[in-house]
Amino acid sequence: MAIPTHPVRRTRRERRFDLRATALFFVLLAIVLCVLAFLARTAAGIVEHRPLWAGVLAALGVAGVLMSRSGWRRVSVARCAGRAARALEEAAEIASDAASTQAGTDRVTAIDQTFPRPAEPRAEATVPLARLADYAELDPDGFEEAVADLCAAHGCREVEVVGGAGDLGADVLALTPDGRRLVIQCKQYGDAHKVGSQDMQRFGGTCFTIHEADVAALVTTSEFTDPALEYARQCGIVCVDGPGLLAWRHGTGPSPWQLTGAAATPAGAERGFAYGDPAEADECHGAR
């Protein structure tokens, strides 16, 4: 567990007067001044009594200064010359590499023009989802996209995938070709995992009251339990299982919004569709 730290307020300490340090400073200053005065008096005495020696010492000092400056200049000139030489070598290498690359490109172009390469085969178009196994191999987001594509392919407008955290049971929203609001929940389950009544009740509690669906459908790659089908019949929810999804995909069966309100028949059940009875739908979500 991290321990919270509080900012530390820093205060500036005022420097106090130190008599000892001040006295030591003035003593050192006096010593320096005395040494400078002694050197100046000695130099004046040498100039007065031995002017020749003074001139020789002055000449030697000037010569030393000039020699040191010329040495620094020689060093700087040598450095500049070395840098220039390295820059010229790098430029020559770059030019040589560019020339060799251009020559290789020209040779390849000439060979291609003389002996054209065979055309590469084009990638095949994406195979449409024609089997139930194709839908089962998709991830949940991909399955929602596939159902949305089916809606758009069968004439729906304003198709939108809204599945995710906080979707309140709606994965696909759209307007049917006749202008009704369609709300679909997608359940990508395996063969051994059927859609139960709890899944259906959660969807039935939001599809009409929150999403204001005119047509509510639950689409799955699996099957529905009998209690789930009974609840869907009472609430007017369209149930599309795996075979019904394939029939919708191939056009051999109706779209979920085409037979809304029709009672499920044995033939319809075989095709994988179950439709709610509007006479009993008011018991689930009230009159709209």
Buried b / exposed e across 95-128, counting CB within 10 Å, b at 16+? eeeeeeeeeeeeeeeeeeeeeeeeeeeeeeeeee
Task: Read off the pLDDT of each residue in 6-19 and give the average, rounded to a whole number.
Answer: 51
Q: At what angle do helices 278-285 and 226-235 cross, to 10 degrees?
A: 90
The torsion angles phi and psi of 153, rounded to 5 degrees, stand at: -70, -25
Predicted confidence at residue 17, as pLDDT, reads 62
**Under a CB-based contact definition with an 8 Å cutoff, are residues 223 and 188 in contact?**
no
Q: Does the pLDDT of residue 7 top 50, yes or no?
A: no
Please tell me which of 46-55, 209-218, 267-276 the model is most confident about, judged by mean pLDDT. Answer: 209-218
Segment 51-69 shows an average pLDDT of 75
Percent of the chain exceeding pLDDT 90 equals: 34
Residue with tokens 């929203």: 173
Contact yes or no for 236/284 (Cβ under 8 A): yes
At 39 the pLDDT is 84
- Tokens of residue 79, six digits: 């450095």
pLDDT value at 20 more than 90: no
Maximal CA-CA distance, the chain: 138
Residue range 39-51: average pLDDT?
Answer: 79
Q: Which residue has the tokens 């059927």?
A: 194
| Per-residue pLDDT tens digits for 152-197 | 999 999 999 987 777 788 999 999 999 999 999 999 988 889 999 9
Residue 43 pLDDT greater than 70, yes or no:
yes
pLDDT computed for residue 218 by the predictor: 96
pLDDT confidence bin for 236, thresholds 50/70/90 = very high
- In this predicted structure, which of 6-20, 67-81, 133-147 has the lowest mean pLDDT? 6-20
Write out pLDDT tens, residues 90-118.
666 676 666 666 655 565 455 555 554 44
Delimit the domains of the chain by residue range. Answer: 22-99, 132-285
253 in Cβ contact with 267 (< 8 Å): no
Burial grade of 23 (CB within 10 A; 0-12, 13-18, 19 or more): exposed
What pTM, to 2 d.p., does this model score? 0.50
Give the mean model confidence (pLDDT) for residues 143-154: 93
Give me the residue label for tokens 């019949």: 233
Average pLDDT over residues 214-242: 94
Q: 173, 235, 158, 174: which is closest to 199 by C-alpha?
A: 235
Mean pLDDT of 194-219: 93
What is the CATH code of the structural domain delimited by 132-285? 3.40.1350.10
